[in-house]
Structure 1
Amino acid sequence: MSTPANSTEQKVWLISGANRGIGFGLVNNLLARSDVIIYAGAREPAKATELQKLAAEHKNLHIVKLTSGSVEEAKQVAAVIEKQSGGLDYVVANAGIANFTSRLEAVTLEDFNEHFQVNVVGVLVLFQATLPLLLKRTTRVFEAVGSGAGSITNAHHFVAFNNGSYSLSKAALNYLVRRISVEHAQDDLIAIAVHPGLVETDSSKEFLKRPEAAALKSGAIQPDDSAKALLAIADKATKETSGKFLNYDGTELPW
């Protein structure tokens, strides 16, 4: 068995989509630790008021401009982290979009392309920019926030939700993470796709009001609870969990 990724040395984290929801919960929970440096990515840092409040109180929290899919911004963030911290131990690719608009027969290419640009290309761009920084450290965990809707095996469960573009993008994300784990197994890089649960975020509120979601509402969890679960999975990451698709409770999900 491999040793868990965490150790007693100070850890450097990068969280994308950190200005609200699960991302903000990840930052907030990490700040309870004494051994971390956190880089919180936000598309518009000046408007991330809650993050700004936290940064004013915690010198180990740095807000960086990071738009999903922007190669230039990802490179700039990587350069800042390398200069200030030398490398990265953990990257949590959390930024994403979820529109529940139509079945595949009616989905527009604009909607399809937007989901892939943010949910797949954005994660690939982030990985490419941060890989050299991960390889400078010994922990090397890349955790991508996926979705149960990306499970090919369980596709029949999601037909009623009109989330064709979203599901396709998350299925592609699963393969991206799996491929990263295979390509970099010899580098001891751990890559994991994690379903965060059905989380009551701004993007899911309208969905949860729909009749087809009635049976799911009782199982919805809060962003803070999801964030704690995602951090626990990252903390316990090993070579044995690399390349897997995990539920937020740590159990393995079918591809």
Structure 2
Amino acid sequence: MTNLIENKVALVTGANRGIGKAIVDSLIANGAKKVYLAVRNPASTKEIEAKYEDKVVTLTADVGDAESIEQLANQATDVEILVNNAGIMHLTSPLSEDAEASLMQQFNINVFGLMRVANAFAETLENNKGTLVQLNSIASIKTFGDIATYCASKAAAYSITQGLKEKWADKGISVLSVHPGPIGTEMGNEAGFAGAPDATVVSNAIITALNNGDFHAFPDPVAKQLEAAYQSYSDQIITGELSL
């Protein structure tokens, strides 16, 4: 298999733990020459810095703040693989008293955060013929009642991801939409996913999808079940030539 990560410069938002940290590990293991760790708290990456030394650079960033993301983009103009991993999940049904506030908070990070990152890095990605990797979820395709507001935010993020793929197609920018199911991270455990697959199943799937030039990645066993049912629709409608 061709290794398209070799000697590339990457940036990962939310790189200090869980899936983000696993993505950093996989990028470096596959030859990335530098990975920017974009996190809200720079003290949270000390362990990663000690492990990888000059292969990683910590930058302060908050996807919930447009000015912060603009500053991030100005500091990382050599990025070729941009992984927007940062996100939040609230356990909120549509009937909860705080459903509206929960939805707004998740949209701010999961949807508007993606838009901030994409807009801030658009010129860099075009100049470097780069790739945007967006961490979506099976929840972007299938809604679960107890996390319905999270599902709504991820569905919106998936729509934006598709829009970016279309708008960037003639600019040499590729897009990868990643759709994990339950994963055994801190966030996953809080949602009741204890015993779920390790985050490396996601990071490894991202490497494979990047090398294959795929638009979708469904990493884990639960996600692959959904992929099997979704594949025909995706091929005909999402990545097909349907026009209005």
TM-score calculated relative to the size of structure 1:
0.80
Higher RCO (CA < 8 A, seq sep 6+): 1
Distance of aligned partners of 1:7 and 1:122 in 2 relative to their CA distance in 1, 3 Å threshold: closer
- Partner residue, 1:108: 99
The equivalent residue for 2:218 is 247
Matches of 2:3 and 2:152, distance apart in 1? 31
SS of equivalent residue, structure 1 residue 51: helix
Counterparts in 2 of 1:74 and 1:58: CA distance versus 1, 3 Å: same
2:237: which partner in 1?
A: none
Partners of 2:169 and 2:3 lie apart in 1 by: 14
Give the counterpart of 2:64 among 62, 69, 75.
Answer: 69
Change (3 A) 1:34 1:143: closer
**CA offsets, 1:87-112, max 9 Å, x none?**
32111110001111323464432211
Which letter does structure 2 place at the counterpart of 1:6?
L
In structure 2, C-alpha distance between the alignment counterparts of 1:163 and 1:125, rounded to whole Å = 24
Give percent identity, aligned residues only.
24
Give 3-state SS (helix, strand or coil) of 1:192's partner.
strand
- AA aligned to 1:193 is S
Report deviation, 1:5.
Answer: 8.6
**In structure 2, distance between residues paired with 1:163 and 1:195:** 16
**Of 227, 247, 255, which residue of structure 1 is paired with 2:203?**
227
What is the number of residues matched between the two proteins?
226
Contact 2:63 2:109 in 1 (8 A): yes
SS of the residue aligned with 2:151?
A: helix
Q: Is the 8 A contact 1:5 1:141 kept in 2?
A: no
Letter in structure 2 aligned against 1:172:
A
Q: Does 1:148 align with 2:135?
A: no
- For 2:190 and 2:20, the matched residues in 1 are separated by 19
- Long gaps (5+) in structure 2: 235-244
Q: Report the Cα distance in structure 1 between the residues aligned to 2:120 and 2:15, rounded to whole angstroms.
A: 18
What residue identity is the alignment partner of 1:96?
A: G
Q: 1:201–1:223: 8 Å Cα contact kept in structure 2?
A: yes
Secondary structure at 1:47's aligned position in 2? helix
Q: How does 1:92-103 map to 2 (within 5 A)?
A: 92-103=83-94
Aligned to 1:214: none
| Corresponding residue of 1:79 | 74
Change (3 A) 1:5 1:124: farther
Aligned pairs for 1:154-165 (under 5 A) are 154-155=142-143, 158-159=144-145, 162-165=146-149
Q: Does 1:128 align with 2:144?
A: no
Deviations 1:189-222 (A, max 9, x none): 211211123111111113226xxxxxxx66x210
Residues 150, 33 of structure 1: alpha-carbon distance in 2 compared, 3 angstrom cutoff: closer
Counterpart of 1:198 in 2: which secondary structure? coil
Structure 1 unpaired stretches of 5+:
210-216
- TM-aligned CA distance change 1:121 to 1:225, over 3 Å: same
